Amino acid sequence: MSRQDTPLTRFWHEFRENKIAVVALSVVVVLMLLALFASLVSPQNPYDLANLSLMDSRRPPGFVGSGGYIHLLGTDPQGRDLLSAIFYGLRISIQIGLAAGFVSLSIGAALGILAAYKGGRIESLIMRLVDLQLSFPAILLALVIVALLGQGKVQLISALVAAQYAYFARTAYGAAKAEKGKDYIEAAVATPLGSRLVVLRHLVPNCTPPLIVVATVQIANSISLEATLSFLGLGLPVTEPSLGMLISNGFPYMMSGRYWISVYPGIALIILIVAINIVGDQVRDQFNPRLRK
């Protein structure tokens, strides 16, 4: 008989063995901490106009600005320290990504599991809607919604949720359908236990593994989608520049050699997304061989 051994500890032990995934996870954690404590680790608060000086604008990396410190990554057209702007931008990107991911997960999973458990007309209705949703390119949908609702954090998150809940719904539906047929659900129903108990205590916990996989990928997608929208000028207002907005700001200067304004936020974005995807891949791989028991 093995020692006390929850599914979580088992999962972690297996995860630890893939060194690359562990590195990626550390990168994600570091970036999240940087974002969380952006105000503490940034040399400058880039949104406090009092800190900015146009004299410092468009300076290359290594420039010592009027604040008396080195701008490690240079400055942007408004004179903002790029390193600080990236930290604050990370915070916004991650916030939006997590919020959109969490809400999409909740709505999508609820719809998917409901459709699978109830069956019949409800199942057809919900899943046809989801299929319809999935046939639209996400960015198109997000654009339309932002155009309708206007700009702002809530509107942006709503657009992202509308574009992504379908993936969660489809995954949750598949998982719930597969689990529904299993003996332990039948055993629970046979006790008898009410539908609510069966769904909440038995069905949902066993559908979470594939949902976690989708969640990691979708969070990365949210971040990327938000960056795209911001790059196009349809994301958050200028006062809260996310990484996409920073890239967009620097775009006109690419040709004149002031690459750092776009490139460094771009690199930060890529590192974040790739790291999340690697973690997501590892999580997905770990859940797969488990199926052969």
Partner 1 sequence: MTDFVSLENISKIFGPTLTTGDRIASKLGARVETRSIHAVSNVSLSIEKGETIGLVGESGCGKSTLGRLIAGILSPSSGRIILDGGPVIRNGAKVTTRVQTVFQDPFASLDPRMKVGETVAEGPITHGLTTKSDARAYAALWFERVGLDPVWLDRYPHQFSGGQRQRIAIARALAMQPDVLVCDEPVASLDVSIQAQIINLFLELTRDLDLTTIFISHDLSVVQHVSDRIAIMYLGQIVELGPVDEVYENPAHPYTAALFGSVPKLVLDDDELVHFDTIEGEVPSPLSPPSGCFYHPRCPLADENCAKARPEMTGISNNRSVMCHNYQQQLTKD
d(CA 230, CA 50): 25
Does 205 bind partner 1 (CB under 8 A)? Our answer is: yes
Which of 30, 53, 182, 252 forms a contact with partner 1 (CB under 8 A)? 182
Which of residues 66 and 195 has its CB atom nearest to partner 1 in the complex? 195
CB under 8 Å to 137, separation ≥6 — which residues?
none
Give the CA distances from residue 191 to residues 36, 41, 187, in Å, rounded to whole numbers and listed in that order.
47, 56, 6
Residue type present at position 136 = F
Does 292 bind partner 1 (CB under 8 A)? Our answer is: no
Name which of 38, 165, 159 is nearest 104 in CA terms.
165
Query: How near is the Cβ of 287 to partner 1 at its closest, in Å?
Result: 13
Which of 23, 148, 186, 233 forms a contact with partner 1 (CB under 8 A)? 186
Question: Which range, of 54-62, 144-152, 184-192, 230-238, touches partner 1 by CB under 8 A?
Answer: 184-192
Query: How near is the Cβ of 196 to partner 1 at its closest, in Å?
Result: 11
Query: How near is the Cβ of 17 to partner 1 at its closest, in Å?
Result: 19
Query: How near is the Cβ of 122 to partner 1 at its closest, in Å?
Result: 14
Does 6 bind partner 1 (CB under 8 A)? Our answer is: yes
Whether a cis peptide bond, with omega within 30° of 0, leads into 192 is: yes
Q: If 0-12 CB within 10 Å is exposed, 13-18 middle and 19+ buried, where does residue 267 land? A: middle
Q: Which two tokens stand for residue 62?
A: 């290594």
d(CA 276, CA 293): 28
- Binding letters toward partner 1, positions 109-138, x by CB under 8 A: ---------------x--------------
Ordered DSSP codes for 104-164: HHHHHHHHHHHHHHH-HHHHHHHHHHHHHHHTS-HHHHHHHHHHHH-SSHHHHHHHHHHHH
Which of 72, 129, 197, 267 forms a contact with partner 1 (CB under 8 A)? 197
Which of 13, 16, 128, 201 forms a contact with partner 1 (CB under 8 A)? 201
Question: Which range, of 29-37, 159-167, 186-194, 235-243, touches partner 1 by CB under 8 A?
Answer: 186-194
Question: Which range, of 197-205, 217-225, 255-263, 276-284, touches partner 1 by CB under 8 A?
Answer: 197-205
Give the CA distances from residue 7 to residues 105, 260, 279, in Å, rounded to whole numbers and listed in that order.
21, 45, 18
d(CA 110, CA 189): 20
Which of 49, 190, 255, 291 forms a contact with partner 1 (CB under 8 A)? 190
d(CA 104, CA 121): 23
Does 206 bind partner 1 (CB under 8 A)? Our answer is: yes
Does 187 bind partner 1 (CB under 8 A)? Our answer is: yes
Does 12 bind partner 1 (CB under 8 A)? Our answer is: no
Which of residues 41 and 187 has its CB atom nearest to partner 1 in the complex? 187
Cα–Cα–Cα angle for 261, 276, 224, nearest 5°? 50
Does 193 bind partner 1 (CB under 8 A)? Our answer is: yes
> Where along the sequence are the contacts to partner 1 (CB under 8 A)?
1-2, 4-7, 124, 182-184, 186-194, 197, 201-202, 205-206, 293
